[in-house]
Structure 1
Amino acid sequence: MIKIKIKDIVNILDAECLGNCNLDKCINGVSIDSRNVTEYNLFIPIKGMTTNGHCYINDAINKGAIATLWNKNEPNPPTDIAVILVDDTVKGLQDLALAYRNQLKTKIVGITGSNGKTSTKDITAGVLSQKYKTQKTVGNYNTEIGVPYTLLGLDEDCEVAVIEMGMERAGEIDFLTHLVKPDIGIITSVGPVHIDNFPSVEEIAKSKLEIVNGIKSNGLFIYFGDDPLIQDTVDNTQISSKIRKENFGIREDNTLWLKEFHEDIQGITFKINDENCDELHMEMLGKHQALNALAAILAAKELGMNYEEIRLGLLKIEKTGLRNEVIKIKNSTILNDCYKSNPDSIKTALDIFKLFKSDKKIVILGDMLGYREMSHEVHYNVGKYLSSVKIDELITIGAEAKFIAKGARENTSIANITEFDTKEEATLYLSNFLEQNCSILIKGSRFLKLEYIVNTLKTKEDN
């Protein structure tokens, strides 16, 4: 994590310092949440839509913060620690992160994509950690606040960092890539995620391609080559001749392609087109994860790793939670994939769910966000798609998900379709199935927090 004297922060931000301003004191790390402050931290309060971090300054001080950034228009700054006055604490966070990034010798892999970026981050970090001191984005800190916070959390001796970059609107990837300055940039996929903020999926692709704007000279750009939209956008985007390009996929015209693939409930095994590489294994589920691994392999090869190091690295992946977690509760098996939801990720989850063998198969689908006037049609089409999957019962949660139920009723032969308004109702209903030999898939948008279902059902395991 960043270690820097207060006077250097003041100089970087061209700021004024008030309070107990011992400029030679050294801060040790940054926190944007008063609950996580540790001794000698710089506390950076963020003013959001529903909360104002400035209100928690006393908590931060009590936990050991010795300095804080402070919006000039916020009243009552503390007097017992250093107060660094700025026009905007978010911009202050970003400017400090950029200055720190510029002094780091760390190689950085930047990853974006409509789907798959978090899994690719986890796989890439797992592989690279086999050879290098590696750090990665924690959880979903992939925004204009999360990315600079992640950069400031990198150790000075970190050799490689894997940074996830999210996007809701045009221009965000351009901003983040110039902050991160990746040596390697990866695009995993492009789809109609946050389509309510874009005129078309083509514009989403263009915005994702902004990642190349920040890739360092002689850096490497890696992308999913099977998607014609991505390939067309790459072909029609002016990319510096000093940036090299490689792609991955199933098609044999990719730089790296999937030659063989096998899976079972224990994980996936696959081969690539390079004869120097033996069979590879990962304790993850789904063909999409093998494709995500191809991106990681290209990044690892770029950073000088051999295939034996890569093979071992694939066996030590630390997975971010709520994505394809397999959980046993009594006689039931739950595929917990409730971090986010969109039509593409639902189809991927359903493909994985086919691996599960049981007497009864139940799919739980919640509302998907971000489709505005298209929402009813998008949800209906998901229900219609269920005709291609063999399940015994469909449960929907939320007002929009009722159109999934409608699409399923009118287009499938699913025997039992039940609609609930809340996750609490659905949880109570599901508790009746724990003693049965059944498999349950749970999928819904983040705002629903459907992990509540699994966490509540777990409490019944010993009852």
Structure 2
Amino acid sequence: MKIRIKEAADILNAGYMDFVDVDKYIRGVSIDSRKVSENNLFVPIKGATTNGHSYVKDAIKGGAIATLWNKDEPDPPTDIAVILVDDTVKALQELSLFYRNTLKAKIVGVTGSNGKTSTKDITASILAQKFKTQKTTGNYNTEIGVPYTLLSLDEDCEVAVIEMGMEKKGEIDFLTRLVQPDIGIITSVGLVHIDNFPSIEEIAKEKLDIVNAIKEDGLFIYFGDDPLIEDTVNKAAVKESIRKETFGLNDTNTLYLREFHEDLDGITLRVSDEEFDELHVDILGKHQALNTMAGILAAKELGMNPEEIRQGLLKIEKTGLRNEIISIKNCTILNDCYKSNPVSINAALNIFEMFKADKRIVVLGDMLGYREMSYDMHYNVGKDLSSFNIDELVTIGQEAKNMAKGARENTGIKSIVEFDTKEEATEYLKKYINENCSIMIKGSRFLKLEYIANTLKDLEEKDEK
């Protein structure tokens, strides 16, 4: 984004303290003082535990030329332009909406209970074969992350793939009106953030709000095998001008899976579109075949040919902490600890079945956000482990103890060990890095279970010195 300081203030209908030339250009936006670049607009966010206004001096050292500033915050800086607003988050959103309306880029908006990040990565990789393409980085898919992503798009960006997350009612409607996608994708609907919704049906309705701001004659792509999604689509007031296409396993879909093979080098598939030969994707899991088909439909909508799509699938830049394979001495770790719910655990376990070793260890942490359903959800995850080849189960956290209980009462897993903290679990797992074993790690983002693999990797590096 490139805009004069005074113009930014005018867009926000805000006053400013002009300690610098307000005709100078802002070039880019940062919400993290540690990542400020020259001539950025710094947007301090006031959160539950930290206040970004406290870090404005660091932003200035990093090269910020201006900052938004909550009017009720004391001691605004005097060596950069200060744009005074009632709420920096709302101002960030307003600025992103203005900027979105200046862009000529086609935008693909992606949401879903599971699979949205992988679908974003796959789709962006394909589109980059033909267009200047940008995408949501990391987990910037919230009411702060989405406007930040929009403001991070280059003026000459041709296509952007924007991920939209949802934790509460009204969030998808709000985010999609900022994004205004030309193509909207729903990957799935599941029991995620059920603590904020009365039922899975309400989650489906909220996800479907992505259609509210798809542009005229735009395309809505969704997983067609889920009766709940299909029923919600049929009941919703989707504008007639918005076209619909589906992907899935059933031959009733616009694009469906004909053949599928996988190994630790990735997945190979054939789809129903006869234009395509065999496709290889450097990513793990059968569920990724579904995400791939969503990306293919989006690419075809934007005029890409089969060879461009095939090449894009070979060059996916994957977001971290999802199905990462880490080798530590004789041990191989499947590090899949960005989030956790029954569906994503099952998907990770199916991938883990391909790992061959003398000992197979599954590490599972708490799944958060299930309130009164928590006991049953955790117990059933443990119970369902009977379907997989597991030598040892390690659980982390209080809720995960119910996974251990479900496994003890319903499976033949010989060793089940429970820990309260990831540090205790890591200390226990240290002994395995010298053995021929495989370890799968899965838990909710709050637990930050990547600590385990990172610590074990550090041990290996120390031993090598």
TM over 0.5: yes
Residue-by-residue CA offset, 1:239-266 (whole Å, 9 max, x unaligned): 0001000000000000000000000111
> Distance between the aligned counterparts of 1:158 and 1:192, measured in 2?
35
Matched residue of 1:361: which SS? strand
> Distance between the aligned counterparts of 2:304 and 2:85, measured in 1?
43
Cross-structure match for 2:429: 430
AA at the equivalent of 2:193 = H
Cross-structure match for 2:222: 223
Cross-structure match for 2:100: 101
Q: Is 2:13 the counterpart of 1:9?
A: no
Matching of residues 19-418 of structure 1 within 5 Å: 19-418=18-417
Matched residue of 2:149: which SS? helix
Task: Return the offset for 1:21.
Answer: 4.2
Residue-by-residue CA offset, 1:40-66 (whole Å, 9 max, x unaligned): 111111100001111111111122111
Residue-by-residue CA offset, 1:162-221 (whole Å, 9 max, x unaligned): 000000011000000000000000000000100000000000000000000010000000
> Distance between the aligned counterparts of 1:47 and 1:267, measured in 2?
42
Matched residue of 1:459: which SS? helix
> Distance between the aligned counterparts of 2:111 and 2:274, measured in 1?
29
Task: Return the offset for 1:78.
Answer: 1.3
CA contact (8 A) 1:19 1:80 kept: no
Moved over 6 A (4+): none
Task: Return the offset for 1:282.
Answer: 0.7
CA contact (8 A) 1:184 1:222 kept: yes
AA at the equivalent of 1:329 = I
TM-score, reference length from structure 2: 0.99
CA contact (8 A) 1:332 1:437 kept: yes
> Distance between the aligned counterparts of 2:87 and 2:290, measured in 1?
41
Task: Return the offset for 1:127.
Answer: 0.5
Residue-by-residue CA offset, 1:70-122 (whole Å, 9 max, x unaligned): 11111111122111111110010000000000000010000000000000000
Matched residue of 2:321: which SS? coil
CA contact (8 A) 1:32 1:43 kept: yes
AA at the equivalent of 1:176 = L
Matched residue of 1:141: which SS? coil
Task: Return the offset for 1:135.
Answer: 0.4
> Distance between the aligned counterparts of 1:309 and 1:282, measured in 2?
13
Residue-by-residue CA offset, 1:298-340 (whole Å, 9 max, x unaligned): 0000000000000000000000000001111111111110000
> Distance between the aligned counterparts of 2:59 and 2:332, measured in 1?
42
Matched residue of 2:6: which SS? helix
> Distance between the aligned counterparts of 2:93 and 2:212, measured in 1?
18
Gaps of 5+ in 1: none
AA at the equivalent of 2:393 = L
CA contact (8 A) 1:165 1:176 kept: yes
Matched residue of 2:216: which SS? coil
Task: Return the offset for 1:19.
Answer: 3.8
Does 411-420 or 58-67 show the bigger shift? 58-67
Matched residue of 1:207: which SS? helix
> Distance between the aligned counterparts of 2:452 and 2:430, measured in 1?
9
CA contact (8 A) 1:18 1:83 kept: yes
> Distance between the aligned counterparts of 1:257 and 1:334, measured in 2?
32
> Distance between the aligned counterparts of 2:361 and 2:31, measured in 1?
40
Cross-structure match for 2:420: 421
AA at the equivalent of 1:225 = G
> Distance between the aligned counterparts of 1:285 and 1:3, measured in 2?
39
> Distance between the aligned counterparts of 2:417 and 2:37, measured in 1?
48
AA at the equivalent of 2:77 = P
AA at the equivalent of 1:414 = I
Task: Return the offset for 1:376.
Answer: 1.2
> Distance between the aligned counterparts of 1:254 and 1:41, measured in 2?
46
AA at the equivalent of 1:195 = I
Matched residue of 1:461: which SS? helix
> Distance between the aligned counterparts of 2:38 and 2:288, measured in 1?
40
> Distance between the aligned counterparts of 1:179 and 1:433, measured in 2?
48
AA at the equivalent of 1:270 = L
> Distance between the aligned counterparts of 1:21 and 1:72, measured in 2?
19
> Distance between the aligned counterparts of 2:348 and 2:340, measured in 1?
10
Does 309-318 or 37-46 show the bigger shift? 37-46
> Distance between the aligned counterparts of 2:169 and 2:330, measured in 1?
47
Residue-by-residue CA offset, 1:331-376 (whole Å, 9 max, x unaligned): 1111110000001100111111111111111000000000011111
> Distance between the aligned counterparts of 1:63 and 1:193, measured in 2?
38
Matched residue of 2:434: which SS? coil
Residue-by-residue CA offset, 1:367-386 (whole Å, 9 max, x unaligned): 00000111111100100001
> Distance between the aligned counterparts of 1:106 and 1:387, measured in 2?
49
Matched residue of 2:247: which SS? strand
AA at the equivalent of 2:99 = Y
**Count of aligned pairs:** 462
Gaps of 5+ in 2: none
CA contact (8 A) 1:174 1:211 kept: yes
Does 75-84 or 205-214 show the bigger shift? 75-84
AA at the equivalent of 1:216 = K
> Distance between the aligned counterparts of 1:58 and 1:450, measured in 2?
33
Matched residue of 1:460: which SS? helix
Identity of aligned residues (%): 73
Matched residue of 1:223: which SS? strand
